[in-house]
């Protein structure tokens, strides 16, 4: 998990990792494909139905039809949403849309998932469902997830954490220690 105040550079770092932006200095090595989940679930699903949206992400791979179908099914099974395959996107909840975006990355066989405040617009139940889901995917599929958040309770699901300030990593390590540090900091401000 990646934490830091507004403007500390979290989104910039994620954009550099996806190749959307190039770094002004230093070197970065990322093995594509990389999956990206945005803060607003309405900004990333482009097709009318769930199945079509995931298939759309595979267009460039020019797969035989049967294999494409299989990849879509496999990805939806991974996020427990196979039953929504024919559902129109507009009929999904925010949390379901985020899970469909993650399924899109799984279908493309992404090993790395970058999530930029993916729970910011979700209610508390869908928020923790989504974090738990990503934690399961990391464990069961050996994926790596880099998750940006403001919500300290999400640190309970992390294997490690980084704190950014003005573009620099100022602390890193055990998530529960960082959580303590940030809670204390918030207490000092009040």
Ligand X SMILES: Nc1ncnc2c1ncn2[C@@H]1O[C@H](COP(=O)(O)OP(=O)(O)O)[C@@H](O)[C@H]1O
Interface contacts to ligand X, rule CB under 6 A: 4, 6-12, 21
Pick one of ligand X, Mg ion, none as the site partner of residue 48 (Cβ within 5 to 8 A by kind). Answer: none
**7 touches which of ligand X, Mg ion, none (CB within 5 to 8 A by kind)?**
ligand X
Nearest to 3 by CA among 118, 156, 117, 123: 117
Closer residue to ligand X (CB): 51 or 118: 118
> In terms of CB distance, is 109 or 150 closer to Mg ion?
150
Q: Which does 20 bind (CB under 5 to 8 A by kind): Mg ion, ligand X, none?
A: none
Radius of gyration of the chain (CA): 17
Question: How far is residue 99's CA from residue 130's CA, in Å, rounded to a whole number?
Answer: 7
Q: Which is nearer to ligand X, 84 or 155 (CB)?
A: 155
149 binds Mg ion (CB under 5 A): no
Partner from ligand X, Mg ion, none contacting 96, C-beta within 5 to 8 A by type: none
Give the torsion through C-alpha atoms of 85, 80, 115, 139, to 10 deg: -140
Q: How far is the CB of 173 from Mg ion (least distance, A)?
A: 22
Q: Contact 182/28 with Cβ under 8 angstroms?
A: no
- Residue 11 binds to Mg ion (criterion: CB under 5 A): yes
Q: Which of ligand X, Mg ion, none interacts with 6 (beta carbon under 5 to 8 A by kind)? A: ligand X
Cβ-closest residue to Mg ion?
A: 11
Q: Is 8 in the site for Mg ion (CB under 5 A)?
A: no
Whole-number Å distance between alpha carbons of 116 and 97: 14
Structure tokens at 51: 């199945």
* Token pair of 183 as six digits: 């809670």
Nearest to 111 by CA among 29, 25, 32, 7: 32
The residues of the shown chain that bind Mg ion, judged by CB under 5 A, are: 10-11
């Amino acid at each position: 998990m990646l934490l830091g105040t507004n403007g500390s550079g979290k989104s910039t770092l994620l954009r550099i990792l996806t190749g959307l932006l190039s770094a002004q200095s230093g070197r970065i090595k990322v093995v594509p494909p990389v999956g990206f989940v945005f803060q607003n679930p309405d900004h990333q699903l482009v097709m009318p139905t769930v199945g079509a949206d995931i298939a759309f992400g595979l267009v460039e791979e020019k797969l035989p039809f049967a294999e494409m179908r299989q990849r879509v099914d496999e990805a939806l099974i991974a996020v427990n949403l196979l039953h929504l395959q024919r559902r129109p996107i507009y009929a999904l909840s925010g949390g379901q849309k985020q899970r469909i975006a993650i399924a899109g990355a799984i279908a493309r066989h992404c090993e790395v998932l970058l999530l930029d405040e993916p729970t910011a617009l979700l209610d508390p139940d869908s928020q923790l469902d989504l974090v738990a889901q990503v934690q399961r995917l990391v464990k069961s599929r050996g994926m790596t997830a880099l998750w940006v958040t403001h919500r300290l309770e999400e640190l309970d699901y992390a294997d490690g954490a980084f704190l950014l300030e003005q573009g620099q990593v100022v602390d890193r390590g055990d998530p529960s220690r960082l959580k303590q540090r940030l809670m204390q900091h918030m207490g000092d401000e009040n």
